[in-house]
A and B are shown apart, each in its own frame.
Chain A
Amino acid sequence: MIRIILFLVFTTFGFSQNYYLYVAAESDDTVSLIKFDGKSATELERIPVGIKFAETEGPHGLTVDPSGEYWYLSLAHGNPYGTLTKFSTQTNTEIATTELGYFPATMEISSLTGLLYCVNFKLYGTMTPSSVSVVDPQTMTEITKIPTGVMPHGSRISPDGRFQYSVAMMSGELYEVDTVSLEVNRVLQLDNNHHMNHQGMNHQDMDHQGMNHQEMHHSTTQPTWVIPHPSDSKVYIAGNSSNEIIEVDTDSWEIINRFKTGKGPYNIDITSDGKKLVTTLKGEGKTEIKNLKTGKSKIVDNTTKVSHGVVISPDNKYAFVTVEGIGGEPGVLDVIDIGKAKLVSSVKIGKQAGGIAFWKLEQ
């Protein structure tokens, strides 16, 4: 009888949890505010973020500041530099904008310095080293550009806020930036074979003009993401071309493991207890959930093709995955129950859903 009463009480008055996220649609110049109530995800608002209607500026990276009061968006294309824009989470209106480098992409704010670190992906013509822009979000001033590798991506900050990690997709490197001194602290080559390996490369698509072939290293790994472990001295890297997750010990600064994945691992997030790693498999339209303790993985099919971003809810229950789609297909946000490894909800948004940031969890 008591059990029945308790069941009725919980089902009648039980707390529901609402999860709120921002998701960017790169080919529609929109950002969607999404609410997931534990059962279904809905698009609360579609926010236009473009500058010129007839041009596609390409909203790419998103992050919410630690206070939850503001969200930040990188627009890949400008005249010619991309921009970083600060929005209010209360009104979803623009507060300030600053110019960054070529194709500013992923970013995060350090809880230690309060500064925002955004990689300039530079997906343009000749492949040359790019940089990490450091921005003071209070004044929205770009303080400095820290030179890093070719096509840097996946800017993530260590849990103590002390280091910023990014990977250079085409030079195959892991960069550790000191968030205080604003200098590169360490660089680690991620390719198995450090010598030039031309396997799997389409040289017709590459511009060799102006390259120093003695110095230029063509990555076979093509890393696209890095995420620090929440408690261990490790970072995990998505090897987009090598189809693997690379585990790096940040104490010894060496690769300690390589886990094979499905095709085209792209973005990664890790549960706050450090137990599970969730990776989007861009080449398969799937999401992989890996138990770091057992090493076992489960695969979840995404709604459409070209899986892109992933963020895990603070309670570690759900992974929110963006799926770009192809051509005129709408972008999709998939909600995956991590424990059950099951797709539980999807919502269509603008085309080429990519950047994603978790805003808040409300009881």
Chain B
Amino acid sequence: MRTILITSILLLSFPITNLYSQDLFVKSDLQGLKLKIGETFEPETYAENLKGERLSCPYTFYYNKQGVFSRAKAISYDRNKGEIKANAPGNHEVVAVCLGLDDQRLSRTFEVEVGYAMVKEITISVPKDNYVSTYLDLSFDVVDEQGFERDGQKLNLTSSSEILSIDNTNNVKAIASGTAKLTAELDGVSATVEIKVSENPLSKIEITSNQEVARTGDVVRYTATGFDSSGNEIKNLPFEYTFYGKSFDVSESAAGTILNDGRFVAEEPGNYSISATLGDITSSKPLRVVARDIKREVYRVGNTVVPDKRTSDFWIFEGVDGRDYAVTGTHSADGTAFFWDVTDPTNMKKIDSIKVDARTVNDVKVSQDGTIAIISREGASNRKNGIFILDVTNPYDVKVLSEYTKNLNGGVHNLFIDNDHAYVLGTGERYYILNIEDPTNPVEVGMFEVGSEGQNIHDVWIEDGIAYSSNWRDGVYLVDVGNGIAGGSPSNPVPFSNYTYASGANHAAFPFRSKSTGTFYVVLCDEIFPEGVNLTEPEITAGFCHFVDFTDLDNPVEVAKFEVPGTGSHNLWVDEDVLYVAMYGGGVRVVDISGELVGDLFRQDREIGYTMTGSPNGFIKNATMSWGAQVYKGYVFYSDMYSGLGVAKVSEDKPDTSNENQYIERTGIPD
């Protein structure tokens, strides 16, 4: 208290007007400071004028320029002790602030170097079998005395024998058979391993495949078998697979993806050669790749333009009367949800609307039996957002059954209905599970949250008693809410699998089991607006859909992606091994996802077709901003932020390409 009092007196004794006409600069013994891990330092900071006169700062404090979040723990400042503490190695920026000498506070940033602790241990991992004329697949782990890993530091590698060749970037090649000791050294600490190099036992490699001719996007499996000079097969050899290719079209380049296990997928029609190599022995096999030839005409069947509001999500459902209906939300508008009779997709009719105290009705969902709809609410004038539960037994006369706001004041962005339960996102932190058996009196029975610092959820989808929540940087969470796989239920949601990826942009998820392969995937689509928001022009979007193989729930593997250059992904639907994904400005894309999936599906020409969903009468005329797609009774329904609700059909007909690339033969198998 005494310190604060003195500080106050000192501060208040300096008028706000500038007593010091000369410029002042912050000086500190933080300049050039080097600390060791765990070391503390009480800095001394002062101001200096142009004459070199030193002026004491009435009050000084410091902070890590990285801020207060977990990323800023590398160096910390204890205000009570007035000292900084080095917690992690590296170069850190510390800001010194000097108060009370001028009409504005003075500050300066200093770089403080925190040195690494001494290296404690180096570990070298070596493959069991190493052969002449191969590069060795080595890995090095360096840990210091503080437990920090040293990444990216070049080790001093030496070999006791000339059978190993070490280049300038520490690639180690076996050049002769024998035994050598490889030593890795850093800061005086070293580790040595003995490496045995064998003569290449092979005299030949035979390479086989499951296909001689493939389409772009087909995953061809190659198997290499090695034989010694006696013709005996040698197993478990570390073959290296590579490919070479020449495109049929001289304007294109042969391209594809080849994996370590011998799987290859081509992106461009052409002649390819896939090789398996071990040391100096190699063998190749040709592969002819032809066009996938799955393009189909996607034509628009109908469109109901909402010209004065942005449209958000939608849901198509069969009513209790057997007719087909749709509900659509509105975004940044007036809290309206529209109901449509879509029994005749060529002549969809607006039949009712509900307007609630909100600006955005972002999500709309309907129960499986077509009796209950729930709409989400954001921007309520009383800041109690939540949801509205609606009776849609007669979609021509929709009635509000109840309003529910508990824990949902901050706004509901997405929700899902499954078997008398609603899964409702509470302000992006978690989802609450409501029992809606009595829709006039929803009751909270469960809740799921990731539990991480800064947890944030965007969407949830339920299928077969499993909730798939998209959690931005925390990726997708698979939660048992009644499936039984992990003993969960709506009142006891149990997570059992998770997958994250680097962009942290997981926005929507859709699970599917491939009809053609039986593989279980979850498709995770990003949402990214790289240039922020534009008020009058179509938005720039980015991001793509990630295909994750969840066959092994403990080790899900991202195997493929669908990315359309120049536009980003949003909501999606999968039906009969076909992906329907709204790509915002890129329209609704229809993608063949049959067979095994590896690599870049767009570049493999797996896209069947697309439709641009804008309208000349839309909110922004002729602009496409596709929100989502839903396959229903053979039609592809979609919503577009600028044009409203639309419907398309994927034709059996191939598109007319007579006016494009008319001299290129891209299909068929040459004799």
Contact = CB atoms under 8 A, between A and B. Distances in A.
A351 to B, nearest CB: 5
Given A136-B63, A205-B406, A54 B7 contact: no
Nearest to A26: B379
B359 A29 contact: no
A136 B94 CA distance: 13
A48 B359 contact: no
Interface in B304-346: 309, 312, 331-336
Interface string A12-41: 000000000000001111100000000000
Interface in A313-336: 324-329
Contacts of B383: 123
Contact of B430 (A112, A125, A205): A125
Nearest to A49: B533
A124 interface: yes
B659 to A, nearest CB: 34
A214 interface: no
B12 A162 contact: yes
A351 B109 contact: no
Contacts of A160: 12, 16
B429 A141 contact: no
B429 A125 contact: yes
Given A54-B527, A162-B12, A180 B107 contact: no
B428 A80 contact: yes
B405 interface: yes
B454 interface: yes
Interface string A50-67: 111111100000000000
Contact of B334 (A55, A126, A328): A328
B427 A125 contact: yes
Given A113-B99, A124-B410, A181 B533 contact: no
A204 interface: yes
Contacts of A207: 406-407
A143 B333 CA distance: 37
A29 B533 contact: yes
B11 interface: yes
Interface in A142-160: 142-145, 160
B269 to A, nearest CB: 37
A124 B456 CA distance: 12
Given A55-B413, A56-B332, A142-B68, A136 B534 contact: no
Nearest to A65: B104
A139 B472 contact: no
A54 B12 contact: no
A82 to B, nearest CB: 11
B333 A328 contact: yes
A306 interface: yes
A98 B539 CA distance: 23
Contacts of A78: 456
A26 B359 CA distance: 10
B104 A125 contact: no
B154 interface: no
A162 to B, nearest CB: 7
A49 B335 CA distance: 22
Contact of B529 (A51, A139, A181): A51
Contacts of B67: 98-99, 141-143
Given A27-B359, A81-B454, A305-B381, A48 B105 contact: no
A114 interface: yes
B63 A53 contact: no
A327 B533 contact: no
A352 interface: yes
A207 B356 CA distance: 23
Q: Specify the main secondary structure of chain A where it touches its partner.
A: loop
A178 interface: yes
A123 to B, nearest CB: 5
A139 B65 contact: yes
Interface in A84-132: 94, 98-99, 103, 111-115, 123-126
Contacts of A352: 359, 379, 381
Nearest to B538: A53
B97 interface: yes
A79 interface: yes
A98 B333 CA distance: 29
A50 B105 CA distance: 31
Interface residues of A, number: 62
Contacts of A56: 332, 359-360, 378-379, 411
Contacts of A124: 409-410, 426-427, 429
A136 B533 contact: no
A324 B97 contact: no
Given A53-B533, A112-B16, A124-B429, A136 B97 contact: yes
A218 interface: no
A123 B386 CA distance: 13
A27 B430 contact: no
Q: Which of A27, A30, A51, A125 has the largest number of chain B CB atoms within 10 A?
A: A125
A46 B536 CA distance: 11
Contacts of A53: 529, 533-534, 539, 541
A344 interface: no
B515 interface: no
Interface centre among B103, B379, B456 (most CB of A within 10 A): B379
Contacts of A328: 309, 333-336, 359
Interface string A183-219: 0000000000000000000001111000000000000
Contacts of B405: 205
A141 B63 contact: yes
Nearest to B16: A111
B292 interface: no
B332 A351 contact: yes
B355 interface: yes
Contacts of B61: 182
A234 interface: no
Contacts of B541: 53
Contacts of A162: 8, 11-12
The 7 closest A-B pairs by CB, nearest first: A328-B334, A50-B533, A27-B359, A80-B456, A114-B105, A27-B379, A125-B407
Given A53-B539, A125-B410, A141-B64, 19 more contacts: A53-B541, A54-B362, A56-B332, A56-B378, A56-B411, A77-B411, A115-B105, A123-B410, A125-B407, A125-B429, A136-B95, A136-B97, A138-B107, A142-B68, A144-B68, A182-B61, A207-B406, A207-B407, A352-B381
Interface of B: 4, 7-8, 11-12, 16, 59, 61, 63-69, 79, 95, 97, 99, 103-105, 107, 109, 309, 312, 331-336, 355-360, 362, 378-379, 381, 383-384, 405-411, 413, 426-430, 454-456, 472-473, 504, 527, 529, 532-535, 539, 541, 570, 627, 641
Interface of A: 26-30, 46, 48-56, 77-81, 94, 98-99, 103, 111-115, 123-126, 136, 138-139, 141-145, 160-162, 178, 180-182, 204-207, 305-306, 324-329, 351-352
30 contacts: A51-B532, A53-B533, A53-B534, A53-B541, A54-B570, A56-B332, A56-B379, A77-B411, A77-B428, A79-B504, A80-B455, A99-B67, A99-B69, A103-B410, A112-B105, A123-B409, A124-B409, A125-B410, A138-B107, A139-B107, A144-B68, A160-B12, A162-B8, A178-B4, A180-B4, A180-B11, A181-B7, A205-B405, A207-B406, A305-B381
